Amino acid sequence: MGKNRFHDGPGPSQRQLRVGETIRRALSDVLARGDVHDSDLNRLSITVGEVRTSPDLKIATAYVLPLGGQGQDEVIALLARNKGELRRLVAKKLALKFAPDLRFQLDETFDRMDETREMLNREDVRRDTGAPAAGDRGLE
């Protein structure tokens, strides 16, 4: 049964959210500092938007995006290639009994925000919602 990232039923527990955010910070720090022994990965700037953990905390899925959105497939491949070292480096920063298995997916949130912004700026949508144009509010 596939789960949708945004509609998982009751949602993650407070512990899952807390651990996910801790892993996100640790992973972001490791990637920003270039601690991984892979020059291909270290030359990239990668944003870790969110980390979601399984209920048992054994799997952590990191939603990532390269700076500028270019080379997305390369970033996922490089992260997957280095996931063992990334797991070890992240585990050193965490106070967990077991280090979760890291998985990587593209963070599509920014694409959705752009699509939503474009849709809300369409003339027919503004007319239907009664919203002023973005320029009418002094926003661009």
Q: Are 60 and 103 in contact (CB under 8 A)?
A: yes
Q: What values do phi and psi take at 77, rounded to 5?
A: -65, -45
140 within some domain: no
User: What Rg do the C-alpha atoms of the chain give, in angstroms?
Assistant: 18
- % of the chain residues with pLDDT over 70: 74
Q: What is the domain-level CATH number for residue 48?
A: 3.30.300.20
Are 50 and 63 a contacting pair, CB within 8 Å?
yes
pLDDT given for residue 108 in this prediction: 83
Q: 131 in helix, strand or coil?
A: coil
Q: With 70 as the cut, is the pLDDT of residue 8 above it?
A: no
Burial (CB count within 10 angstroms: exposed 0-12, middle 13-18, buried 19+), residue 48: buried
5, part of any domain: no
* Domain that includes residue 88, residue range: 14-131
Has residue 3 been placed in a domain? no
Number of domains in the chain: 1
Residues 23-35: what's their mean pLDDT?
95
Q: What angle do CA 45, 53, 26 make, to 5 degrees?
A: 40
Condensed to tens digits (0 to 9), the pLDDT of residues 90-101 reads 999 887 778 899
Q: Please report the pLDDT score of residue 111 as a whole number.
A: 55
pLDDT range class, residue 50, cuts 50, 70, 90: very high
Measured CA to CA, the distance from residue 122 to residue 87 in angstroms comes to 44
Does position 54 have pLDDT exceeding 50, yes or no? yes
